[in-house]
Structure 1
């Protein structure tokens, strides 16, 4: 084969030149040109006898070069069709690698570079930039820095705080929450973030398990603290109120001490012993059983959680809207410390308001919002308006939203990147949906699994335990099969456990999973990974339910119910309600001999000792409770049967907050709940 063949065969004759042009163009756009012509050209031997040799060479070279230029586009198109999420996967992995390298650097450098140091750098870079906006008042980075200096000095002088002392914060969402924590962090003191809904026994438990000797609260929560004050005083606990004055003996005013303290910078030596493994916070979680547990949040975990904004695409120019409680890991870790890591502005609200949400976003040019599943649903339930898509929100970060609500939210409020995530406060494994796929909590990829090893294992719902083979090892779930998510406990992905609760810490550790001697963290959650590597949250196992964005331990609710005079035993569980996120509380109870169900007394008990989201809204009175062979209460059938009076013969009761009592659950009430005429 040679150049003469091209010319002699008539390829470049006058008659066929037009067809040749067309052939070259077709080859060019087919994308196969480079490969074909490279092989073809390699076998050609130029001949001086061909009068069209130069023209032939020109055609071949032109087509070859043009084809090579187009080849990358062709390959990209092919890859895109075969791997539609390749680009997003690569961006996510590159961001994760970059952030992982940063965290590795922080682990090694001395002195340790903490989130507080990151905040101080932001103060130096942009002292006048608004860090926090709350109820019409803006606070610059410099102002918040000075306020936190005053807090640190006042607590040193008044409470005698020193590095390592734990302080409990019992507060609602307000600016002082931020500078109180920063002030404590500047002197190396970890903070315990107490849920402001808890009372009595739960409040005392949460306070005591973190080992705190100081409690700081606000005026609106003074009554709750006063209720347990005798016990606190007996334990020699110092209680401080964010007020100029206080007439209650045993509660000391703190605001006057803060305002009189110096706002000058503090020495870094005051936190000289703080390192990546030091406890930064205690955040409370219901976990699977018992009273709330204090999850230990180290500085390493604090950094890792703060990176979620960066992974989601948040930049230093964004404005972040926080309406979730700051005692939550979502509001505090992802929201507040994430904002510090990015150096951005926070818009803080006391609590979520569906009616004011979008007005707030427009007023403050909010670009990033947080949500839980209920947030999205409440927003979708608001009356439609013409200006619903008139806002600057581009990213939403959160968890727990149903697919139908997610779709409706996007249809109504525009093209917002929903970054649905899966994580646990104390867990060592998580996922985030960095794609536009609706209904998933993330994607499985080799890099993620290499750095943070995890697996899904088969789980027996009836026995409430992992399925094991003849060798005593767990059985991995197949692709497309629901399984229990477990994360391998390693130096890179540790499980720090619960403060003062070794028993519950051990319960979350799962041994001999894939091989003898290995150790995994048991998330207690069922997930599914499909054949396209998308991760779906399926359900929660164990003795918890999630309602209004809060995890509720069923045993805690059962303990409160059995304090009611008429109730002998209580089996608490969560049931689904059509059109609502999560599961609402329900209890099957047995009564003491010769007792009838006391509707009023039961209401008083749950109202006095449980926050609204934890109160069982439905009660089912049974002659006896079903038990397993190991005397554990059976719940699966009860959960499946729900609360429809048409299907259940046992007496059913509904918690009516207006009547302040439990009332018989009629089919009319059930219909009103189903139609959302009665709001839960």
Structure 2
């Protein structure tokens, strides 16, 4: 989100102008902040307690919609209770782990809620995982059972012999309305819908024994080695999110949040659902995101808010205009990664009044949210943090002669670090070695401890920040650091390009990595001779020479993870090797004013150092 304009800086005057609108939210927000901060790790806390309160407030209100199904708060709670009572009956205890692999549907949320009520930690497995990676993810958290939706059952079955789980603990939900029809479970799986049917629907006695320090979820993040890491998300952190993001959005009971994000990820299951539960409003979910169905669903569910990540916004902006995107109730959106180059356009085109951009990571202890509704910012942080000077050359924070880190001035970019305190603890990964790597000590004074987010942000004043780049998403070329996010923004602004994924590739006999962009074109668009020249002209206007991509690779579709993050590792591996892909690659040869197609001859010449990049 590098948007280095002085107009983005925030001071008292700018905040004062926002106060009148903010005041209407204040009572709800104060209620939330009390719940978030007046707690200790031993207080009863978490999803189960909050949901049961919502049921008391609005038992017959609609809690969940999916396709043509709808569940009141009372109905969803009864269902979750049956699941909870069943797991108690087979000996599940607080602190046990159950792995859950199911796409977005009501069974998934009922299961999460039921297990949360008994203090079981739910490992939210990415539904696109298969093979060794899936086996690794499940074994990593040592679950007592695996619950699989029929849609993920084959993937689980293929690796069941690699899992350290009892034969009778492979549980299954049919891919249908299981409250009406339990379906037939395949051999080797226990049919959960069938098992829970005879269990009671009253609240379990365990809900209030779940404490802040107890685990609620394991959420997986992509590990640098290629194997996922499991991050513990405690009930305490959930309560913090509920008290802040959940109340900032300030829903009324008739609000409907439309969420197409995968629920195995925190933006969906925590952020989107929190706001709904805080106001006993409605969550409307879709199995998988679809651009063509997005506004149809918004109209069908009468949604008033949407959950987003940055790429989703870009997909909606790239779609042709339609009647359905007008005349809806959506005025608010909550999520992260909205790019500055589409922020204003998005609000104008779709009639959005409030973009509740936020910053948080599954494992981190520092969060920002855009409570005052400024543009181009991840918002305001109530948690203690610092933005410190960072030396990209040596890949480390700058320290003064006494060994202390140095805070950046307002308007400058630095490394974001979150102070580790009793009220903002670092819950960490399953692996203690990984924890050591991200905790910094003696940062601003003796024996303090900070969580290193690995993110560069710009301090824009009044405890507000702008996201600039991930440290991992930079590479060096011509002795300079190139921000992939920045280049992606510029390249994807070219009129024929829908999306760009930027990364560094090695050219033999050169230092560092040259920039390469894998681009997808608008439907039906082709690059002609003129484009090969015009693109370069456009890139030169906005990028320093060293940041202009040396290679362009034309892709039909961009591979993303379930959370819309780009899959860069495979692209990096293939580089510009034309023998490893059938896709067209273009190159900007030294001294040229346009891109040309990378032929076998040119490729061999680059390999044998006939060009000096």
Give the TM-score, by structure 1 length. 0.67
CA displacement at 1:95 relative to structure 2: 6.0
Q: Which secondary structure does the structure 2 equivalent of 1:291 belong to? A: coil
Q: Which residue of the other structure, out of 240, 262, 284, is the alignment partner of 1:325?
A: 262
Rg larger in structure: 1
Partner residue of 1:281?
Answer: 217
Q: Which secondary structure does the structure 1 equivalent of 2:133 belong to? A: helix
Partner residue of 1:294?
Answer: 230
CA displacement at 1:107 relative to structure 2: 4.2
Q: Is the 8 A contact 1:464 1:542 kept in 2?
A: no
CA distance in 2, matches of 1:278, 1:241: 26
CA displacement at 1:123 relative to structure 2: 2.4
1:578-617 pair list within 5 angstroms: 578-579=491-492, 584=501, 586=503, 588=505
Q: Which residue of the other structure, out of 586, 598, 605, is the alignment partner of 1:667?
A: 586
CA displacement at 1:271 relative to structure 2: 4.9
CA distance in 1, matches of 2:140, 2:317: 40
Q: Which residues of structure 2 form unaligned runs of 5+?
A: 1-11, 175-182, 476-482, 509-544, 555-573, 589-593, 598-613
Q: Which residue of the other structure, out of 636, 643, 646, is the alignment partner of 2:551?
A: 643
Partner residue of 1:375?
Answer: 312
C-alpha distance 109-160 of structure 1, shift in aligned 2 (>3 A):
closer
Partner residue of 1:102?
Answer: 35
CA distance in 2, matches of 1:288, 1:351: 26
Q: Which secondary structure does the structure 2 equivalent of 1:652 belong to? A: coil
C-alpha distance 80-544 of structure 1, shift in aligned 2 (>3 A):
closer
CA distance in 1, matches of 2:140, 2:473: 21
Q: Which secondary structure does the structure 1 equivalent of 2:194 belong to? A: helix
Q: Which residue of the other structure, out of 446, 465, 472, is the alignment partner of 1:516?
A: 446
CA distance in 1, matches of 2:202, 2:323: 50
Q: Is the 8 A contact 1:440 1:536 kept in 2?
A: yes
Q: Which residue of the other structure, out of 227, 250, 267, is the alignment partner of 2:158?
A: 227
Aligned pairs, how many? Answer: 504
CA distance in 2, matches of 1:149, 1:169: 17
Q: Is the 8 A contact 1:287 1:544 kept in 2?
A: no
CA distance in 1, matches of 2:360, 2:318: 27
CA distance in 1, matches of 2:41, 2:144: 32
The reply on whether 1:150 has 2:63 as its aligned counterpart is no
The reply on whether 1:254 has 2:187 as its aligned counterpart is no
CA displacement at 1:488 relative to structure 2: 0.4
Q: Which residue of the other structure, out of 521, 527, 534, is the alignment partner of 2:457?
A: 527
Partner residue of 1:565?
Answer: none
Moved more, 139-148 or 521-530: 139-148
The reply on whether 1:419 has 2:351 as its aligned counterpart is no
Partner residue of 1:75?
Answer: none
Q: Which secondary structure does the structure 2 equivalent of 1:304 belong to? A: helix
CA distance in 1, matches of 2:41, 2:453: 30
C-alpha distance 587-544 of structure 1, shift in aligned 2 (>3 A):
closer
Q: Which secondary structure does the structure 2 equivalent of 1:154 belong to? A: helix
Task: Give a deviation string over 1:266-290, Cα, whole Å, max 9, x none.
Answer: 441x356421211111111236665
The reply on whether 1:169 has 2:100 as its aligned counterpart is yes
The reply on whether 1:306 has 2:242 as its aligned counterpart is yes
Q: Is the 8 A contact 2:232 2:363 kept in 1?
A: yes
Larger RCO, structures 1/2 (Cα 8 Å, 6+ apart):
2
Q: Is the 8 A contact 1:191 1:280 kept in 2?
A: yes
The reply on whether 1:134 has 2:58 as its aligned counterpart is no
Q: Is the 8 A contact 2:456 2:470 kept in 1?
A: yes
C-alpha distance 141-651 of structure 1, shift in aligned 2 (>3 A):
closer
Q: Which residues of structure 1 form unaligned runs of 5+?
A: 1-78, 546-572, 592-636, 656-660, 674-680
Give the TM-score, by structure 2 length. 0.74
Partner residue of 1:200?
Answer: 131
CA distance in 2, matches of 1:188, 1:211: 16
1:546-557 pair list within 5 angstroms: none
Greater helix fraction, Structure 1 or Structure 2: 1
The reply on whether 1:180 has 2:116 as its aligned counterpart is no
Q: Which secondary structure does the structure 2 equivalent of 1:396 belong to? A: strand
CA distance in 2, matches of 1:544, 1:161: 45
Partner residue of 2:394?
Answer: 463
Task: Give a deviation string over 1:614-657, Cα, whole Å, max 9, x none.
Answer: xxxxxxxxxxxxxxxxxxxxxxx9987553489xxx971479xx
Task: Give a deviation string over 1:144-201, Cα, whole Å, max 9, x none.
Answer: 12211221233344x4323321101011101001111111122221111111112222
1:60-139 pair list within 5 angstroms: 83-87=16-20, 97-105=30-38, 107=40, 112-139=44-71
CA displacement at 1:406 relative to structure 2: 1.5
Partner residue of 2:526?
Answer: none
CA distance in 2, matches of 1:585, 1:202: 25
Q: Is the 8 A contact 1:80 1:86 kept in 2?
A: no
Q: Is the 8 A contact 2:506 2:575 kept in 1?
A: no
Moved more, 201-210 or 215-224: 201-210
The reply on whether 1:489 has 2:426 as its aligned counterpart is no
CA distance in 2, matches of 1:126, 1:97: 21
Q: Which secondary structure does the structure 1 equivalent of 2:230 belong to? A: strand
Task: Give a deviation string over 1:98-148, Cα, whole Å, max 9, x none.
Answer: 4232234454997x2543123223323332221111111111112212211
CA distance in 2, matches of 1:173, 1:518: 41
CA distance in 2, matches of 1:191, 1:432: 26
CA distance in 2, matches of 1:356, 1:169: 27
CA displacement at 1:454 relative to structure 2: 0.8
C-alpha distance 517-145 of structure 1, shift in aligned 2 (>3 A):
same
CA displacement at 1:511 relative to structure 2: 0.9
Task: Give a deviation string over 1:526-575, Cα, whole Å, max 9, x none.
Answer: 00013576421100013799xxxxxxxxxxxxxxxxxxxxxxxxxxx967
Q: Is the 8 A contact 2:251 2:275 kept in 1?
A: no
CA displacement at 1:364 relative to structure 2: 1.8
CA displacement at 1:664 relative to structure 2: 5.8
Q: Which secondary structure does the structure 2 equivalent of 1:240 belong to? A: strand
Q: Which secondary structure does the structure 2 equivalent of 1:524 belong to? A: strand
Moved more, 231-240 or 271-280: 231-240
What is the root-mean-square deviation in Å for CA atoms of aligned residues? 3.5
C-alpha distance 357-121 of structure 1, shift in aligned 2 (>3 A):
same
C-alpha distance 230-544 of structure 1, shift in aligned 2 (>3 A):
farther
Q: Is the 8 A contact 2:142 2:164 kept in 1?
A: no
Q: Is the 8 A contact 2:37 2:240 kept in 1?
A: no
Q: Which secondary structure does the structure 1 equivalent of 2:306 belong to? A: strand
Partner residue of 2:479?
Answer: none
CA distance in 2, matches of 1:137, 1:359: 16
Q: Which secondary structure does the structure 2 equivalent of 1:542 belong to? A: helix
